[in-house]
Structure 1
Amino acid sequence: MNSNKVIIAGWYTVEAKKRDEVVESFEDLIKRARQAPGCLDLAITADPIDPTRINNFEFWESEGDLGAWRSVANPPKKISPIIEIEMQKHEIKQSGPPFN
């Protein structure tokens, strides 16, 4: 099994008038994820510039931890339809300080 850390990062858009409601609907999921084994960070946030955009960031210790979380995540069932999405999974082979 791959032991690289994993980042899921990207964004999606919904109707501007529904964005804050969608973000709030993920509050319980975020709290539970941050307590899940292998979760280093998870955030689903309203973009400060684009009123339709929701930013998504997940940082996991391993692909196995991500998969285990996905099997029990139980995301909100009813959210506003997604208009556009750009999301990628990244396997981290090496990390270091962001500034030298």
Structure 2
Amino acid sequence: MIIVAGWLRVDASDRDRYLDGVASVTALARDFAGCADFVQAPDPLDPGRIVIMERWESDEDLLRFRNSGGPELDLPEVRDASVQKYRISSVEAP
């Protein structure tokens, strides 16, 4: 299992436009083979922050999605970001 998680920062006035712009990418990812979850969501406390969370069955699935192309997007500038990929060896109930 691969998890991609972190955050992006955009100008607060651009956050809704960014999220609207990536909605089609979310729909494509969720229909893609190997995608267990994919979301980019507004941080409820920080108006310029977007939370990223993806779960993929394998590196190959993630790379196939990233290399599959997709719609041309006109997005606001990302001012800062911290997104990491994690390799999970087991999953347990919380």
Contiguous gaps of at least 5 residues in structure 2 = none
**What secondary structure is seen at the aligned counterpart in 2 of 1:67?**
helix
**What secondary structure is seen at the aligned counterpart in 1 of 2:67?**
helix
Match status 1:40 vs 2:50: no
Residue in 2 that maps onto 1:26: 22
Residue in 1 that maps onto 2:68: 72
Q: CA RMSD in A?
A: 1.2
Query: Structure 1 residues 57 and 25, CA, compared in 2 at 3 Å: closer, same or farther?
Result: same
What is the Cα deviation at residue 73 of structure 1? 4.4
What is the Cα deviation at residue 94 of structure 1? 1.1
Q: Which runs of 4+ in 1 moved over 6 A?
A: none
Identify the match of residue 9 of structure 2 among 10, 13, 19: 13
Greater Cα radius of gyration, structure 1 or 2: 1
Deviations 1:45-78 (A, max 9, x none): 1111100001111100000100110111426532
% identical aligned pairs: 33
Q: How many residue pairs were aligned? A: 94
TM-score in terms of structure 1 length: 0.89
Query: Structure 1 residues 56 and 76, CA, compared in 2 at 3 Å: closer, same or farther?
Result: farther
In the alignment, the residues of structure 2 paired with residue 76 and residue 92 of structure 1 have an alpha-carbon distance, to the nearest angstrom, of 32
TM-score in terms of structure 2 length: 0.94
In the alignment, the residues of structure 1 paired with residue 50 and residue 93 of structure 2 have an alpha-carbon distance, to the nearest angstrom, of 27
